Structure 1
Amino acid sequence: MRLRKTMSTKSPTELESDEKAQKRAQWEQFGFHVEAPGQVEVTNESHDNPADHQYVVTLDDVTGKAMACTCPHHVHRSAFCKHMTAVENATDDGTLTAFPSDDETDENDTESAECDCDGLNGFPCWPCVRTGRKELPN
């Protein structure tokens, strides 16, 4: 007889940062880039190759609390990870604005001029779709 292990899945609102995630978020160096309102790319600068340790944390647009992360720890364990903790810490202390105003977005929108839409025969590139600058055709 084979036993199957069942995992209980918690909704993001039920997740809380544990002590280990808090400590790691404080000990390690993180870089942040707001990809879109509520979408923060987090780079763990403590690794030898930080580009291999980039994940996206999604924040709730009402509460401002972290809901999800693309890192393996959150994806496979439904756990509140160090990346989510680091983003919440940075937004709480004012060093990160995860929901920039329209004025801030326009000032930082120089990257949008360099998108890949031009080479796609009228089809929008993923960065333009994700940030809401363009919509996918039906």
Structure 2
Amino acid sequence: MSQSTLELLEYDEQMAKRASWEAFEFTLLGEGVIEVVNGSYDDPREHTYMVHAEGKIPSDCTCPAWEYQEGACKHMVAVAIREPLLEAVATEPSTRADGGIAVEAPPYDDSEEECDCDKLSDDFPCWPCVPDGRREL
């Protein structure tokens, strides 16, 4: 019988509670890298770290706690308790945490002259033109 990922990490009970209760958001960046954003803080951007996983095991983190404390940080434990996330990291680096596949947008084709923007005022673009880069909000 193989060990679970959590059994392979060293962490305490407080760390496990924080990892399961705090408002983490995860983004798979590919090649075993998971961006972890802690939305529990007023400015989550200041609490954004990269957890590296080797296979299905979080191996390190870019947070200060990982550098200065013994054992796994709460970001690594948060990744470890979300088995579908680890499964996605181990099998398909381009798979997104929401189950979708990361794809690049097709290049904008200038030959498409007509769009809904032509029927709107100059300061209000249609939605398809915004992500295509034809117009800005």
TM > 0.5 fold call: yes
Matched, 1:87 2:63: no
Partner in structure 1 of residue 50 of structure 2 = 56
Counting only pairs closer than 5 Å after superposition, residues 1-138 of structure 1 correspond to structure 2 as 15-61=9-55, 64-90=56-82, 92=83, 94=84, 97-101=88-92, 104=95, 107-110=101-104
With over 3 angstroms needed to count, the CA separation of the structure-2 counterparts of 1:44 and 1:103, relative to structure 1, is closer
**1:28-87 CA deviation, whole Å, 9 max, x = no partner?**
0100001113110000011110010000001112xx111100000001224311100000
**Gaps in structure 2 of 5+ consecutive residues:** 1-7, 108-137
Structure 1 22/109 Cα, relative in aligned 2: closer, same or farther at 3 Å? same
For the Cα contact (< 8 Å) 1:73–1:79, is it kept in 2? no
- Measured after TM superposition, the shift of residue 17 of structure 1 is 2.2
TM-score (norm 1): 0.59
CA RMSD of aligned residues (A): 2.9
Taking structure 2 as the reference length, what is the TM-score of the superposition? 0.59
Does the Cα contact within 8 Å between 1:37 and 1:100 map onto a contact in 2? no
Which is richer in helix? 1
Amino acid at match of 1:101: E
- Partner Cα separation in structure 2 for residue 102 and residue 26 of structure 1: 24
Query: Is the Cα–Cα contact under 8 Å of residues 31 and 93 in structure 2 kept in the other structure?
Result: no
**Alpha carbons 1:24, 1:82 under 8 Å: kept:** yes
Number of residues paired by the alignment? 96
Distance 2:19 2:25 in 1: 12
Larger Cα Rg: Structure 1 or Structure 2?
2
Relative to structure 1, the CA distance from residue 22 to residue 104 in structure 2 (aligned partners, 3 Å threshold; closer, same or farther) is: closer
Indicate if the aligned counterparts of 2:32 and 2:93 stay in contact, CA closer than 8 A: no
Consecutive unaligned residues of structure 1, counting only runs of 5 or more, are: 1-13, 114-138
CA contact (8 A) 2:27 2:36 kept: yes
